[in-house]
Structure 1
Amino acid sequence: MKRLWELDAARGLMLVLMTITHVPSRLTDPVGQPFGFVSAAEGFVLLSAFVSGLVYSRIGYTQGVAVMRRAFWRRALKIYFIQAALLLFLFTVITGVGLQLDQPAVKEMVKYYLAHPHDALTFSLLLVYQPALLDILPMYILFMLASPWVIAFAMRHGWQWPMALSATWWAASQFGTTEWLYGVTRGVLHLPVPYGETGSFDTFAWQFLWFVGMWLGASRNAPDAQPFVFPKWLLGLAVAVAGGCFAWRHFGPTGQAPFGDDAGLNLLFDKWHLGPLRLLNLAALCIVAIRFGPPLLHRLPRPRWLEDMGSASLPVFCAHLVAVFVVVSLTGGGYAALPYGADLWVLGGVFVGLYAVARAVLRWEGGGDGGKKARPPAPHGQPVADAG
């Protein structure tokens, strides 16, 4: 049964864009938020949620909710151990190199760990303390733990109530509810970690994006699933919004800050809290991509290298974090720290390494055939994909 190679290629593209954004170079700012006021992180989370909803709901329909729940938990446990390994790598190797070379960027990244090493280690393993760039996987773990209960409920009663509750949580997060709840919890449990060290992503806001993706993916396994079709007026509006935000981002006078120095208005496009206008921009991009993406992709050469990276998205994502940590510890993390031209050599070396990781993982998982083994057919004629 054929794979959803378009989704693999899209995830691979998101990984490429995130790598360029995170590896400090002169390309970081121009490539940041490349499609408007939406970053690769939103695309990566939404695609991962879609694939998870597609794959795990299929397990629920064909093998039962208990099997689906165990599959989610195994995945969450795997991600947890990966997060722990990355934390230990950061606290030992990267911190040691950064201190030896006196790199301010590394010291800033692990400042809480340097000040409170025992608390930092303990609460990082409890997913409370989240250093920079290590705040995405904890979100995935929490979402993976919650997802089987949501899907099981939706299989019996529909998605209306789960999505209404998720949207309510997102709306509440726009008014600082997440920080307030953490403050209450911190006071009750006497947590030593300040809110500013719990990661940049507002979990209550980003859960909405995750469960929208899960809902859309799970809907593909429904017996009466229909292709996504949009009325002409909605498609026209989406094209206008996506095109306008793209022009505003790349040709406007304020760059990545839509309203310049106006912090209040910029919150409408805020990444960490998923501001309402950012969600509007993302929704418009999704509609445009669903309508025009597949025909365009099938007219272009098939991007096998992006497919491979997207197929092994979790290992490649983790390898990109290791690469970013190494580059920051050696160069100091400045966007113009290296001479002209050296940026391209560094990025080129990173991408060679990431692709090597993808190929090695696919070969390992595929038993030596590059991960292209045939897979069992999905229900109702739907193709399958990995939930990685």
Structure 2
Amino acid sequence: MTAHKQDRQATTAPRDRGAGGSLRGGLAATAQALAAKGRDHRIDALRGVALLMMFIDHIPQDLLNRFTMRNVGFADAAEVFVLLAGYASWLAYGRGFEKYGVVVTLKRLFRRCVQLYIGQTIMVAVYVFTIRIWRHFTPVSVDYLEPELAHGMSWVWRVMMFDALPSNLNILPLYIVLLAGFPVFYLLVRAQHSLALLLAGALWLLVNLDPALNFPNWLDPDGWYFNPLAWQFLFALGLSASAEAQRHGGNFPHRTWLVVLCWGYLGFSALQAFPWVLWGLPDLRPFGDAVAPAKTWLSPLRLLDVVAIFYLVQSSVAARRWSAESGIGQALACVGRHSLEVFVVGTVLDLYARLIFSTFGESWLLQVGVNVVGLAILFSVAFWLDRRRNVRVRAPRTPGAPAV
């Protein structure tokens, strides 16, 4: 075969595979490149699952939310999101203090907090202006925005200062607070790791004993829906788990007795949390209505639930291989790699989905349309950002130019 023919085949091969083949090839190439750098795709894939479930769960009228993890356990996607945020934060910043120095790492932390704040501002602005415009054409329930925020502009400074947290717009402020406190936890870890975790656990336990300990919220006398004083323990567990996993090649030690214990607890959690009545089935809950673990202060039952799930995933070599090699695993990992952008877009889509259902009904056609279009947009955003980053990384640099 001549060199000319070889060149021609090389240039036409991507077109023959089509868009789907090109996308799969791009995801696979990204997965291999990140794996070579030691990145654990299980974290990204699990975070991708959490983001997609959060999008579904935030639409009350969506029938698809009957199949998310909150129906088969005490915890839901929010717990997974915060735990993984802690895990990823240690990888991004915990090692950074030693690798890049204190000043550079603190700048990176500050920059990430600013990005989160911008994302929060975008969501608040879109919510307010969308609802105020929509109300000119059809009535909108005050449930879509707190009554105090639906009128006038005197509330803006409260939202910007996190003194007022509207519903569905309250998890990024929690993330900002937890990330801002990361340097303190890092210093405690450097002094004594077990002491740092003990103090975080003690604060969580104190809040569970006295739920009134919380940040103030102008919109809710009970305070922040995600109480940072309690949820910091889950974030700290993620940080500690990340540091521990580094000492075992990224995997948790596989202990058969612990795996059995985790599955046993998750089985009990599924029986107790499943909405039997909603499905028209006999109520098989072992404790009936007596067990209702609170989300605001992260009750122990919810904490154990998400920790059990995380251990099973991170101790599984099969899960690691699936997330890196399967098409579905690579797609979910792609979503998880761009968590902030996907979360912001998904939260905005939640608003429009709720407005569509409340205005035009909840027919099967709309159910299919909202879910297919919404999920397609989220995957498209993630794939586009992944491809954009790959192009930027592969771009030739001029002499003296900084690395991307």
What's the TM-score once normalised by structure 2's chain length? 0.78
Query: Radius of gyration: which is bigger?
Result: 2
Structure 2 residue 356 is matched with structure 1 residue 330: yes
Partner of residue 378, structure 1 = none
3-state SS of the aligned residue for 2:274? helix
Which of residues 13, 19, 24 in structure 1 aligns to 2:55?
Answer: 19
Aligned residues: CA RMSD: 2.9
Aligned-residue sequence identity (percent) comes to 23
Pairs aligned (count): 351
Deviation at 1:56, TM superposition (A): 0.9
3-state SS of the aligned residue for 1:102? coil
Q: 1:64 to 1:206 in 2, by over 3 A?
A: same
3-state SS of the aligned residue for 2:181? helix
Q: 1:115 to 1:97 in 2, by over 3 A?
A: closer
Partner of residue 146, structure 1 = 181
Q: Which runs of 5 or more residues in structure 1 are unaligned?
A: 372-388
Partner of residue 361, structure 1 = 385
Distance 1:107 1:226 in 2: 43
Deviation at 1:211, TM superposition (A): 1.1
Partner of residue 77, structure 1 = 114
Higher RCO (Cα < 8 Å, 6 or more apart): 1
Q: Counterparts in 2 of 1:14-93, with a 5 A limit?
A: 14-23=50-59, 24-93=61-130
Deviation at 1:139, TM superposition (A): 0.5
Which of residues 227, 234, 245 in structure 1 aligns to 2:258?
Answer: 234
3-state SS of the aligned residue for 2:165? coil
Which of residues 137, 144, 161 in structure 1 aligns to 2:172?
Answer: 137
Distance 1:125 1:19 in 2: 23
Distance 1:26 1:81 in 2: 31
Deviation at 1:200, TM superposition (A): 1.8
3-state SS of the aligned residue for 2:297? coil
3-state SS of the aligned residue for 2:81? helix
Deviation at 1:47, TM superposition (A): 1.2
Distance 1:297 1:345 in 2: 33
Partner of residue 212, structure 1 = 237
Q: 1:123 to 1:61 in 2, by over 3 A?
A: same
Q: 1:257 to 1:43 in 2, by over 3 A?
A: farther
Q: Note the alpha carbon deviations across 1:276-295, whole angstroms, 9 max, x for none.
A: 12212222222222233x31
Partner of residue 110, structure 1 = 146
Q: 1:89 to 1:370 in 2, by over 3 A?
A: farther
Distance 2:167 2:373 in 1: 23
Structure 2 residue 344 is matched with structure 1 residue 318: yes
Deviation at 1:57, TM superposition (A): 1.2
Partner of residue 200, structure 1 = 225
Give the letter for the 1:173 counterpart: V
What's the TM-score once normalised by structure 1's chain length? 0.81
Q: 1:257 to 1:322 in 2, by over 3 A?
A: farther
Q: Note the alpha carbon deviations across 1:314-347, whole angstroms, 9 max, x for none.
A: 100110001001122233289xx41124212211
Partner of residue 383, structure 1 = none
Distance 2:284 2:294 in 1: 11
Deviation at 1:170, TM superposition (A): 0.8
Deviation at 1:67, TM superposition (A): 1.9
Distance 1:244 1:69 in 2: 43
Distance 1:290 1:51 in 2: 13
**Kept after mapping to 1: 8 A contact 2:73/2:305:** yes
Partner of residue 162, structure 1 = 196
Q: 1:232 to 1:343 in 2, by over 3 A?
A: same
**Kept after mapping to 1: 8 A contact 2:272/2:285:** no
Give the letter for the 2:200 counterpart: S
Partner of residue 9, structure 1 = 45
Q: 1:225 to 1:342 in 2, by over 3 A?
A: closer
Deviation at 1:171, TM superposition (A): 0.9
* More moved, 124-133 vs 340-349: 340-349
Q: Note the alpha carbon deviations across 1:252-284, whole angstroms, 9 max, x for none.
A: 56889985544xx41xx2222211122122222
Deviation at 1:71, TM superposition (A): 1.1
**Kept after mapping to 1: 8 A contact 2:203/2:229:** yes
Q: Note the alpha carbon deviations across 1:214-271, whole angstroms, 9 max, x for none.
A: 122234456x878421543333221211122223333856889985544xx41xx222
Q: 1:84 to 1:228 in 2, by over 3 A?
A: same
Deviation at 1:298, TM superposition (A): 2.7
Distance 1:159 1:27 in 2: 42
Distance 1:195 1:242 in 2: 32
Q: Counterparts in 2 of 1:296-307, with a 5 A limit?
A: 296=319, 298=321, 301-303=326-328, 304-307=330-333
Which of residues 352, 358, 366 in structure 2 aligns to 1:342?
Answer: 366
Distance 1:17 1:306 in 2: 12
Deviation at 1:93, TM superposition (A): 2.1
Which of residues 172, 192, 214 in structure 1 aligns to 2:206?
Answer: 172
Deviation at 1:28, TM superposition (A): 1.9
Distance 1:181 1:197 in 2: 8
Q: 1:228 to 1:21 in 2, by over 3 A?
A: same
